[in-house]
Structure 1
Amino acid sequence: MAPVSSPPGSPAGKPDAILHPSEAARRIDVDRMPASSRWARLVDYHWYVGWALDEPYEQQVVPQPRIHVAAEHGRLLVHGISRVPFRRRLDGTGHTLGAAFFPGGFRPLLRGPVSGLAGRVVPAAEVLGVDDRPAARAILDAADVNAMATAMEGYLDEVGADPDPAVDEVRALVALAEDDRTLIRAEQLAERGSMSLRSLQRLFGEYVGIGPKWVVARCRILDAAAVAHRGDPVDWAALAADLGFADQAHLTRAFTRVVGTPPETYRKEA
């Protein structure tokens, strides 16, 4: 079953969060689709993964500051932000579809602090109050990716979302951390947001589910992964300085904690 293609200009998330992308492309089908207009403010994109494997395969993904709701094992599971590497073992034939929320975008559905989901994976019904099993069944039984996304958004429609102007502020702050390589400390992000560091920490705990220091650091690791995925030789000392690390050793330690291997080793493997 081939996934549909995303239209030009549709949200793409952070593709470099998928580690070993060349190997992944040989083993699994991955696609990202924009949310409908009624959910586009809160949901960055829907993602699809399909597989038909002769032997088990494990895929690793770098966790990002986004809440995901994914159809797995007959349920819609809410994935809170995790500090540890995310790995999924796949075998046989199957597929899943998930909704990736913008940073802060899940708070209007949860109607409570997103920090309570940190490091947790829970059935959607437990935190959103609407039975998720019919939607999960529709997604996992469907053969069309658009039908899967429709079923996912149908569930979100049942849950509903409260109006919350703070979502746009949080989304803009995280986008700034993602796009501006000169931001290397949470204090800088607080200054750009015209607030104290403590206020930024409270805002991120409530809406993102993890602190701004983690968010900024993770953005810079994803920048390093993007460079590694180009396949060209890399001056890691220069890149470390460019990304705000104290030195190459600092970058190597941080990258290895997240990815599992030093950056140069990963570049050669990936």
Structure 2
Amino acid sequence: MAAPRRDTRGIVDADELLARVRFRRYLPAGALRPYLEHYWLIDWDLTEPYATHVVPHPSVNIVFQQDQEPRGEVAGIGLGLFTRKLERRGRVSGVQFRPGGFRPFAPHAPVSRWTGWHLPLTDVLRAPGGDPVPDPDPDAFLAPDDDHARVAALDAFLLGLGPHGEGPAPDPRAGLATALADRVRHDRSLRRVTDLAREAGLTVRAVQRLFAAYVGVGPKWIILRHRVHEVLEHAENDRAVDWAALAADLGYADQAHLVRDFTATVGVPPAAYRRH
């Protein structure tokens, strides 16, 4: 990966959000790239409040934010629509981990333990000796006005969680989980967990256990979440959408199942969202 991805997949009403905030992505240091998707930085200065909505990816995030008081937290995978109200001035420096990439930074517990939770860093992360990490000063990641200084601070913090200042030691099972999650993300022909298990040479139960321990959600959930992301992207960007054909392309039994999943996640049917 030579550059961070530039799509807005998962962001509801992306054009509205990007008209109100400065949003950027940066790649981490090379030693961290097996574990991280990218860093994401957001700054805003609003005259009136704005609520942003995101259909979360199957990724754990570390988030340093400055709204009322600077703070840092681990955000486990969100199972539903994430809503955040932005007011006045604020700033976020975030770390999006690859599916499977967070476990080496907190090897003492399955990643599923953090799913759906926002927790202090000291409750989750571990230093090289196994002790909880010292609580870092959020200003180190938020105060600099230069983006590269914020990125350098994030690099230094995460690299310092490894025994030699080079990030955590490789974990083959984390690598396998990441590889399988990437297959689900990029191969739309993978529509069943049984197909994924067969490709990996594992039982379905073994794949489910691997994902619970290293990703935080099951492979079926990830398949469904990527479908919703795909529908959202079509609803955002296509002038006209053949919902029945899209349902078939994504492996749904019929259009009604697509509408059900999208509505349960986003809150409105895809056609109504498209009209809006």
What residue is the counterpart of 2:128 in the other structure? none
1:244 to 219, 241, 251: 251
Aligned residue-pair number: 261
Residue number in structure 2 paired with 1:47: 40
CA distance in 1, matches of 2:241, 2:231: 10
SS of 1:209's equivalent? coil
- How far apart are the structure 2 equivalents of 1:191 and 1:179? 17
Alignment partner of 1:74 is 2:70: yes
* AA aligned opposite 2:116: G
- Provide the C-alpha distance between the structure 2 equivalents of 1:219 and 1:132, rounded to a whole number of angstroms: 34
| 1:102 partner letter | R
SS at match of 1:94: strand
Q: 2:195 aligns with which of 188, 201, 213?
A: 188
- Give CA deviations for 1:101-131 in whole Å, capped at 9, x if unaligned: 1111111110131111011100111211112
2:141 to 139, 145, 153: 139
Q: 1:143 aligns to what SS in structure 2?
A: coil
Equivalent-residue separation in structure 1 for 2:101 and 2:135 (angstroms) = 19
Superposition map of 1:148-227 within 5 A: 148-160=150-162, 161-227=168-234
Instruction: State the shift of 1:14 in Å.
Output: 5.6
> What corresponds to 1:33 in structure 2?
26
Secondary structure at the counterpart of residue 30 of structure 2: coil
Partners of 1:198 and 1:144 in 2: how far apart? 47
1:195-223 deviations in Å (ceiling 9; x for gaps): 11100000000000111110111111111
Q: Distance in 2 between matches of 1:264 and 1:18?
A: 17
User: Over residues 23-66 of structure 1, what are the superposed CA-to-partner deviations in whole Å (9 max), with x where a residue is unaligned?
Assistant: 11211111111111121111110001111111011111111111
Deviation, structure 1 residue 227: 1.3
TM-score after normalising by structure 2 = 0.90
Residue by residue over 1:72-108, the C-alpha shift from the partner in whole angstroms, topping out at 9 and shown as x without a partner, is 2422210001212111110111211111111111111
Structure 2 equivalent of residue 99 of structure 1: 95
2:129 aligns with none
Could you tell me which residue of structure 2 aligns to residue 256 of structure 1? Answer: 263
Q: Which runs of 5+ in 1 are unaligned?
A: 1-7
Aligned to 2:111: 114
Q: So what's the TM-score if we normalise by structure 1?
A: 0.92
Distance 1:191 1:267 in 2: 37
Q: Secondary structure at the match of 2:32?
A: coil
> What is aligned with 1:83?
79
Mean Cα deviation higher: 45-54 or 160-169: 160-169
Q: Point out where structure 2 has 5 or more consecutive residues left out of the alignment.
A: 126-131, 163-167
Deviation at 1:132, TM superposition (A): 3.2
Give the partner amino acid of 1:153. D
Identity across matched positions, percent:
38
Q: What letter corresponds to residue 47 of structure 1 in structure 2?
A: W
Greater share of residues in helix: 1
Partner of 2:4 in structure 1? 11
CA distance in 1, matches of 2:217, 2:201: 20
1:109/1:162 contact within 8 Å kept: no
Write the letter of the residue equivalent to 2:260: R
**Paired letter, 1:93:** R
RMSD: 1.5
